[in-house]
Amino acid sequence: MRIGPDDALLVIDPQNDFCEGGSLAVQGGAGIMPAINRLAERFERVIVTQDWHTPDQISFASNHPGATPFTEIEVAYGRQMLWPDHCIQGTPGADFHPDAAPAVRRALAVIRKGCNPAVDSYSGFFENDRRTPTGLSGLLRELGVARVFLCGLAYDYCVRFTAEDAVREGFEAAVIRDASRAIAPQTEAAAQSRFAALGVVEVEAAELLNAF
Ligand code: VGL
Ligand code: ZN
């Protein structure tokens, strides 16, 4: 494997709310930032996504009286997991984690997602209706990117759905396993089998750093 100008690093949601002390903390979340920074330093093209919700976001359990986080409901576009309030626009929880600052500084673009209160968005490409684009596909295509390497939070949600949509949009996709962390073991296993089925390769950061 060789990394070149038609490769891009996608850093998914390296935000305070997904790290220790945040409202939707992923175990070991902050711990992946040093690896992400090392990778970002080497890639010519770095793009960061940012979960960016309004307080009335449909996927917040708090907006459904009597509902609890981590249960599912039926919405207009299908089943939707309910979450604790997180990554609310302009709050410290939505800010990038300070340990991710070097990678964020390198980014040529920040793609914000989940801004529509009526539709959640895991993927950096499409909202959870799987139809409304964020513009990321067009950006990558115009830059001549053919392959994307994904890392960040969380492996089993936003990294997973971004990787799936990358393949659907005609990009090659690889997930950097040790530069991502999952919310739960069950959905982590589900993501792994989807990756295997779709041809999304799983790589290690050290392997990639040797490929420049
Ligand atoms: C995410 C759940 C809700 C993620 C975002 O970044 O994986 N997960 N919003
Ligand atoms: Zn979210």
pLDDT by position in tens, the chain (length 212): 899 999 999 999 999 999 999 999 999 999 999 999 999 999 999 999 999 999 999 999 999 999 999 999 999 999 999 999 999 999 999 999 999 999 999 999 999 999 999 999 999 999 999 999 999 999 999 999 999 999 999 999 999 999 999 999 999 999 999 999 999 999 999 999 999 999 999 999 999 999 99
Alpha-carbon distance of 19 to 153, in angstroms, equals: 9
- Decide: pTM greater than 0.80: yes
Binding site membership of 158 for ligand 1 (Cβ less than 6 Å): yes
Binding site membership of 10 for ligand 1 (Cβ less than 6 Å): no
Binding site membership of 157 for ligand 1 (Cβ less than 6 Å): yes
Phi first, then psi: give them for residue 157, nearest 5 degrees.
Answer: -125, -85
Let me know if 87 is a catalytic residue. no
* Chain centre distance of CA 103: 14
From the candidates 17, 19, 113, 156, which is the catalytic residue? 113
Alpha-carbon distance of 174 to 166, in angstroms, equals: 10
